[in-house]
């Protein structure tokens, strides 16, 4: 491999389509930068050398000669790009609104480009591809699935670990659910979901996909507007382990009894596939044709048949045949993987046959076939439609950069000493694993393994010392960096654990003393005894993930630390019985909370893992990884390295990119970004936890959440005036001659434009008047803002206004509708055009008699879900500059600065002014003001909320929205005008949220004078 050292490989921003990438040649990655997006491709492993001498290591370098281009993915990507540039034609209004919401540049929590592209791809394939002439994509996918998944329609997304797969799942659920609620007859969508995980850790983590969960991603990551959360709650979601697909014993019986009663057929004591489906999906009730989302979907596949296999027995035989060609551990692992995959996919097929599956969405960082599957090792699942690989994620900065050894002083030209240590140490390690005799006595590690541990530990010490010296960060809840070791069996892991954490030595008198571990920071010894809060933990990943009970052998190995954690559990939760908590639950809780302040795992600095460290383990404090096992595939390498890829900081630098963060990796022979600079690792910014403090509850500030604005017209007679803005031009530009459209009457049907043309114009006026009545003149005085794909009537309206609205609609049709060639007014019966028409009719009404101020009252349209916001909900971490706030003035612990001095100066003034009672910076608060610019709805995030005593007394404080403005821009003018002329009057007219005012300043250094002058003018205005 070429001696290339790229200190900072981040070329692209995380929120934009990648536009640059590093070139690969036959020696690997180069420093040459190509000014285009990296095409989708994957790298095949080099086959083992066929010679008598054992190959000492396998080659996983990413080199150009091993690259296989993913032509299908690249072709789909190009079609999606063109569709995106065309502003998403040929999709439902619900899908369009979601895409606009996700891509809104004013989002407080922007989504990664790769997350948006994954949804763009599936929306395009589902809704638009056929209408845009790309039927070939569905044809290709069908051929792929017929060959590999004959009973299922699968679509896969390849997304690097740390790139946000769970967020994509939330987006998929929201897209399906909201579309299904908008049009119950649309067969493309569903509102019932089965999420399948490979283990308990991921299953538990996926609870954030339940809309009712306290940490729901739909709110936390702002996947849908809060006013649509009520609709999202209607989704039925089950989260299950694939182990649930195993057919269970219905009742116990002797083996001979089972054999006799079965008579060579299925056992009557074992579930049938139908019974398994009813058990797993009981909570879905009578739902049919559900959507399945597979997390870590590389575990779910059918092995390749030896010939044309048409049954499971042939497929199993073919997989066994492929496995037979392997030897040793490779053979055992392949057989185990194939059995797990068979359980998973046959479970899905049983569900398909019982209740139907509409779509299967696979998400994985490594959707490849492995050894023993019957397919070529490292072959990409052909049904992958979207690819954002690890190298893409590194170049976009959204994951840590894994650094592996690229040079050492061992003198070996064949392999670096600590890059792949397994082949050098395996003959000196115990061969036996679980259910065998454990090694006892002092831990004697092979010299090369001991050297790797000491070398990597020395590097870890520097990270730990930086953390230890940062008292402020530790006080804010930042936990220590984490070092993980992945071993192949329990005996090896026990030896490594004893070396690192300490071991028990028997003295001549029969007593025992704890010998300190060789790595002081990780040692669990204190004063000759086990410390009460272990620094290192020993975990059996495989058993914890399957939900099996820990073996007696493992419990004996980890008995001391289990008891210590039970003691800590009792201390933290005095009212709970630690003896009722199983050892498995306790260790799982410890492992899942590593790196999380205030949890059982917060003090853990080192994790020694048996088997593969679990997927879904998302501690972002991992900085060092050591592999002590065989690595024969890219998948295994990337899975282990993936445990250290989650970033700590997501703050952009001045160039709109993330700063690089690194994870140091030994023993995992996988190269992507070469780096020799591990001796002095670059420090990563230490985040500040910004949160509401319960002891400052009296400083809390609440605020209304608005969806928009409306006029309440009190007089029974409606006045109207047609302005230029009321006009609408109809064209067939975006309407094909034959299409499936949802009219505002009847069912969705396939019709031609001639079918619509037969409708009478009076019918158009009648239906537009009814739609306007339903949207803007409801009995509850609320505005119906949604635009469902299929309209259904609601009788809760001000029915007495209909005759006037019918007259206005008819005049509007005659005076304000411009018709281009081949178009006609009956096109207004289509939902999208009908809503545009109703909006313009209402605009004419609110424009009528503008001089009569008493006729119209501006009122807010409240978000139906969570209409009142509060500082109580603020809790996030940031590496942006912060300053502690006054306990007497601010509910939030810190003020986050987006500029170098402006916000800091404003905060200083607000804390110094006696008139200011409470204030808060609008960061992570969710306070927005809806506004429109260039016909596009946006959200404006003002800078501060301030509660001021303006002379009305402490029970009637003035709520001030404070904006600090720099250079004058058109967009800022639209924001400020909306805040001042719409938001403030509407909220004040509502009379439910106190008194509100708006102030914009461009001079923070004169804010004290400006603010007091504003208060004087406000007081004078109130008395006149």
pLDDT digit string (tens) for 919-955? 999 988 889 998 876 556 778 899 999 999 998 888 8
* DSSP H/E element including 662: strand 662-666
Distance (Å, whole) CA 813 – CA 689: 57
Residues 447 and 523 in one domain: yes
Pick the closest to residue 364 from 635, 627, 644 (CA basis): 635
pLDDT at 308: 40
Task: Please give the torsion angle defined by the CA atoms of residues 778, 783, 785 and 791, in that order, rounded to the nearest 10 degrees.
Answer: 0
> Is 953 domain-assigned?
yes
Q: Give pLDDT tens digits for 842-896.
A: 888 877 764 454 557 888 888 766 788 999 988 877 777 889 999 999 999 999 8
Distance (Å, whole) CA 157 – CA 138: 16
**Cβ-based neighbour number of residue 679 at 10 Å:** 8
Pick the closest to residue 57 from 423, 416, 367 (CA basis): 423
Decide: 718 and 808 in contact? Cβ < 8 Å: yes
Q: What's the Cα-to-Cα distance from 870 to each of 230, 824, 867, 1012, rounded to whole Å?
A: 20, 50, 10, 26
**Cβ-based neighbour number of residue 656 at 10 Å:** 11
Distance (Å, whole) CA 642 – CA 665: 11
pLDDT bin (cut points 50, 70, 90) of residue 116 is very high
Pick the closest to residue 712 from 848, 863, 858, 860 (CA basis): 858
* Of the listed ranges 8-22, 291-305, 620-634, the one predicted with least confidence: 620-634
Structure tokens at 802: 């209909």
Distance (Å, whole) CA 841 – CA 811: 10
Percent of the chain's residues with pLDDT above 70: 76
**Cβ-based neighbour number of residue 451 at 10 Å:** 16
Structure tokens at 416: 């670096």
- What single-letter DSSP state applies at residue 724? G
* DSSP H/E element including 608: strand 606-610
Decide: 276 and 318 in contact? Cβ < 8 Å: no
Q: How far is CA 512 from the centre of its chain?
A: 49
Per DSSP, helices labelled H in 875-916 are 902-912
pLDDT at 745: 35
Q: Looking at mean pLDDT, say which of 679-683, 786-790, 1013-1017 comes out highest.
A: 1013-1017
Residues 222 and 149 in one domain: yes
Distance (Å, whole) CA 868 – CA 145: 48
- pLDDT higher than 50, residue 309: no
Pick the closest to residue 345 from 288, 405, 299, 384 (CA basis): 299
> Is 520 domain-assigned?
yes
Question: Higher confidence at residue 789 or residue 249?
Answer: 249
> Is 809 domain-assigned?
yes
Structure tokens at 139: 């044809």
Decide: 669 and 629 in contact? Cβ < 8 Å: no
Distance (Å, whole) CA 660 – CA 649: 10
- 542 SS3 class: helix
Pick the closest to residue 402 from 61, 682, 645 (CA basis): 645
- pLDDT higher than 50, residue 415: no
Mean per-residue pLDDT for 236-253?
85
pLDDT at 55: 40
pLDDT at 53: 40
N- to C-terminal Cα distance for the chain? 81
> Is 246 domain-assigned?
yes
Distance (Å, whole) CA 660 – CA 159: 19
Residues 762 and 874 in one domain: no
Mean per-residue pLDDT for 501-507?
87
pLDDT at 507: 84
Question: Higher confidence at residue 473 or residue 665?
Answer: 665
Residues 492 and 616 in one domain: yes
Strands 622-628 and 662-666: parallel
> Is 113 domain-assigned?
no
> Is 66 domain-assigned?
no
Pick the closest to residue 498 from 510, 487, 509 (CA basis): 487
Distance (Å, whole) CA 17 – CA 221: 20
* Residue entry with tokens 């036959």: 26
* Residue entry with tokens 């939030």: 892
Last residue of a domain, one of 829, 853, 877: 853
Mean per-residue pLDDT for 44-69?
50
Residues 883 and 1018 in one domain: yes
Distance (Å, whole) CA 743 – CA 789: 8
- pLDDT higher than 60, residue 743: no
Pick the closest to residue 486 from 667, 299, 622 (CA basis): 667
- pLDDT higher than 70, residue 343: yes
* DSSP H/E element including 22: strand 21-25
3-state SS track over 555-602: HHHCHHHHHHHHHHHHHHCCCCCHHHCCHHHHHHHHHHCCCCCCCCCC
How many residues are given for the chain?
1024
The domain of 1015 spans 697-704+869-1023
- 501 SS3 class: helix
- What single-letter DSSP state applies at residue 822? T
Last residue of a domain, one of 853, 877, 907: 853
Last residue of a domain, one of 828, 853, 878: 853
Q: What's the Cα-to-Cα distance from 624 to each of 455, 485, 542, rounded to whole Å?
A: 11, 9, 21
List the beta bridge partners of residue 22: 33
Residues 847 and 975 in one domain: no
- E strand intervals along 732-873: 738-741, 749-752, 817-819, 856-862, 868-870
Mean per-residue pLDDT for 794-822?
86
Decide: 874 and 745 in contact? Cβ < 8 Å: no
Residues 843 and 875 in one domain: no
φ, ψ at 877 (rounded to 5°): -120, 150
Residues 770 and 889 in one domain: no
* Of the listed ranges 195-204, 205-214, 388-397, 533-542, the one predicted with least confidence: 533-542
Q: Which residues contact 717 (CB under 8 A, 6 or more apart)?
A: 804
Instruction: Please tell me the total count of domains within the chain.
Output: 4
Give the DSSP per-residue string, 312-379: HHHHHHHHHHHHHTS-HHHHHHHHHHHHHHHHHHHHHHHHHHHT-EEEEEEEES--B--TTSSSPTTP
Q: Which residues contact 402 (CB under 8 A, 6 or more apart)?
A: 625, 641, 644, 645, 662, 663, 665, 670, 672, 673
Residues 742 and 888 in one domain: no
- What single-letter DSSP state applies at residue 41? E
Angle at 601 between CA 599 and CA 605, to 5 degrees: 140
- Reduced DSSP (H G I as helix, E B as strand, rest coil) percent helix, strand, coil of the chain, to 5: 40, 20, 40
Q: Looking at mean pLDDT, say which of 248-262, 543-557, 584-598 comes out highest.
A: 584-598
Residues 793 and 913 in one domain: no
Residues 833 and 886 in one domain: no
- 638 SS3 class: helix
3-state SS track over 67-118: EEECHHHHHHHHHHHHHHHCCCCCCCHHHHHHHHHHCCCCCCCCCCHHHHHH
Q: Looking at mean pLDDT, say which of 240-254, 327-341, 500-514, 616-630 comes out highest.
A: 500-514
Question: Higher confidence at residue 405 or residue 679?
Answer: 405
Residues 740 and 845 in one domain: yes
Give the DSSP per-residue string, 184-198: TT-TT--SEEEEEES
> Is 640 domain-assigned?
no
Strands 384-388 and 154-159: parallel
Decide: 92 and 405 in contact? Cβ < 8 Å: no
**Cβ-based neighbour number of residue 444 at 10 Å:** 11
> Is 417 domain-assigned?
no
Pick the closest to residue 915 from 799, 816, 999 (CA basis): 999
The CATH number of whichever domain residue 371 belongs to comes to 3.40.50
- 778 SS3 class: strand
pLDDT bin (cut points 50, 70, 90) of residue 196 is very high
């Amino acid at each position: 491999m070429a001696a290339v050292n790229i200190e900072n490989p981040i070329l692209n921003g995380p929120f934009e389509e990648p536009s640059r990438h590093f070139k690969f040649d036959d020696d690997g990655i180069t420093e040459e930068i190509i000014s285009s997006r990296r095409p989708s491709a994957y790298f095949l492993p080099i086959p083992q050398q066929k010679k008598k001498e054992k190959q000492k290591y396998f080659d996983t370098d990413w080199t150009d000669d091993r690259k296989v281009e993913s032509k299908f993915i690249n072709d789909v990507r190009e079609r999606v790009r063109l569709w995106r540039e065309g502003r998403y034609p040929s999709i439902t209004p619900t899908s369009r609104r979601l895409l606009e919401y996700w891509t809104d540049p004013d989002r407080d929590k922007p989504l990664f480009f790769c997350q948006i592209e994954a949804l763009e791809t599936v929306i395009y394939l589902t809704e638009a591809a056929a209408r845009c002439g790309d039927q070939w994509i569905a044809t290709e996918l069908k051929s792929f699935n017929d060959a590999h998944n004959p009973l299922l329609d699968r679509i896969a997304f390849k997304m690097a670990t740390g790139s946000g797969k769970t967020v994509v799942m939330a987006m998929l659920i929201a897209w399906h659910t909201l579309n299904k609620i908008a049009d119950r007859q649309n067969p493309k969508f569903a509102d019932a979901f089965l999420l399948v995980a490979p283990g308990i850790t991921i299953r538990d983590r996926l609870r954030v996909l339940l809309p009712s969960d306290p940490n729901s991603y739909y709110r936390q990551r702002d996947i849908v507007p809060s006013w649509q959360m009520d609709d999202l709650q209607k989704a039925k979601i089950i989260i299950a382990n694939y182990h649930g697909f195993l057919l269970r014993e219905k009742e116990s019986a002797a083996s001979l009894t089972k054999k006799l009663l079965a008579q060579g057929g299925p056992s009557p004591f074992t579930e049938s596939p139908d019974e398994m489906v009813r058990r797993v999906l009981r909570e879905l009730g009578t739902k049919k044709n559900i959507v399945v989302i597979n997390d870590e979907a590389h575990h779910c596949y059918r092995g390749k048949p030896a010939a044309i296999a048409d049954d499971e027995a042939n497929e199993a035989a073919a997989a066994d045949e492929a496995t037979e060609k392997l030897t040793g551990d490779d053979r055992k692992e392949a057989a185990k993987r194939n059995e797990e995959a068979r359980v998973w996919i046959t479970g899905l097929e049983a569900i398909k046959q019982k209740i139907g599956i509409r779509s299967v969405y696979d998400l994985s960082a490594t959707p490849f076939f492995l050894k023993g599957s019957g397919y070529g090792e490292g072959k990409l699942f052909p049904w992958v439609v979207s690819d954002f690989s690890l190298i893409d994620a590194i170049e976009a900065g959204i994951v840590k950069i894994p650094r592996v050894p690229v040079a050492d002083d061992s003198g070996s030209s064949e392999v670096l000493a600590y890059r792949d240590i397994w082949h050098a140490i395996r003959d000196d390690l115990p061969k036996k694993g679980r259910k065998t005799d454990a090694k006892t006595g002092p831990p004697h590690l092979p010299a090369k393994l001991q050297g790797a541990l000491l070398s990597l530990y020395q590097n870890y010490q520097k990270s730990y010392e930086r953390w230890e010296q940062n008292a402020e960060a530790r006080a804010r809840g930042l936990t220590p960096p984490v070092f993980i070791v992945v071993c192949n069996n329990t005996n090896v892991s026990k030896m490594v654990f004893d070396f690192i954490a300490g071991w028990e030595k028997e003295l001549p008198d029969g007593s025992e003393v704890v010998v300190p571990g060789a790595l002081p920071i990780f040692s669990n010894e204190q004063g000759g005894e086990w410390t009460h809060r272990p620094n290192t933990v020993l975990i059996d990943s495989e058993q914890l993930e399957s939900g099996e009970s820990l073996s007696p052998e493992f419990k004996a190995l980890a008995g001391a630390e289990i008891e210590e954690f039970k003691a800590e559990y009792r201390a933290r939760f005095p009212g709970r019985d630690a003896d009722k908590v199983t050892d498995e639950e306790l260790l799982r809780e410890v492992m899942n909370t590593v790196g999380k302040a205030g949890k059982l795992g917060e003090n853990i600095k080192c994790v020694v893992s048996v088997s593969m460290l679990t997927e879904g383990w998302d501690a972002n404090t991992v900085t060092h990884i050591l592999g002590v096992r065989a690595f024969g595939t890219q998948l295994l390498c990337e899975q282990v390295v993936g445990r250290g890829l989650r970033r700590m900081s997501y703050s952009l630098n001045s160039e709109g990119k993330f700063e690089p963060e690194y994870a140091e990796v030994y023993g995992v022979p996988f190269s992507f970004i070469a780096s020799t600079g591990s001796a002095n690792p670059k420090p990563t910014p230490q985040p500040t936890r910004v949160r509401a403090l319960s002891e400052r509850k009296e400083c809390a500030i609440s605020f209304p959440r608005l969806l928009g604005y409306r006029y309440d017209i009190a007089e029974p007679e409606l006045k109207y005036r047609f302005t230029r803005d009321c006009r609408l031009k109809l064209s067939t530009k975006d309407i094909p001659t034959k299409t499936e459209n949802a009219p505002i009457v009847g069912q969705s049907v396939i019709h031609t434009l001639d079918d619509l043309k037969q409708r009478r114009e009076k019918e158009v006026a009648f239906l537009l008047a009814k739609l306007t009545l339903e949207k803007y003149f409801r009995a509850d005085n609320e505005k119906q803002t949604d635009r469902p794909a299929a309209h259904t009537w609601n009788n809760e309206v001000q029915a007495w206004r209909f005759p006037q609205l019918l007259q206005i609609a008819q005049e509007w049709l005659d005076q304000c509708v411009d018709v281009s060639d081949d178009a006609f007014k009956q096109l207004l019966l289509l939902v999208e055009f009908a809503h545009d028409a109703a909006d313009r009719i209402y605009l004419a009404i609110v424009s009528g008699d503008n001089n009569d101020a008493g006729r119209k009252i501006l009122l807010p349209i409240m978000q139906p879900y969570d209409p009142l916001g509060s500082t109580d909900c603020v809790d996030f971490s940031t590496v942006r500059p912060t300053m502690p706030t006054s306990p007497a003035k601010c509910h939030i612990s810190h003020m986050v600065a987006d500029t170098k001095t402006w916000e800091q100066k404003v905060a200083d003034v607000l804390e110094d002014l006696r008139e200011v009672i409470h204030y808060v910076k609008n960061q992570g608060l969710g306070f927005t003001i809806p506004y429109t610019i260039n016909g596009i709805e946006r959200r404006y995030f003002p800078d501060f909320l301030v509660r001021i005593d303006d002379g009305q007394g402490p029970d009637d404080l003035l709520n001030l929205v404070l904006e600090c403005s720099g250079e004058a821009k058109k967009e800022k003018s639209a924001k400020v005008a909306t805040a001042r002329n719409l938001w403030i009057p509407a909220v004040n007219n509502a009379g439910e949220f106190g008194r509100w005012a708006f102030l914009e300043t461009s001079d923070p250094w004169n804010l004290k004078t400006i603010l007091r002058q504003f208060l004087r003018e406000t007081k004078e205005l109130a008395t006149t």
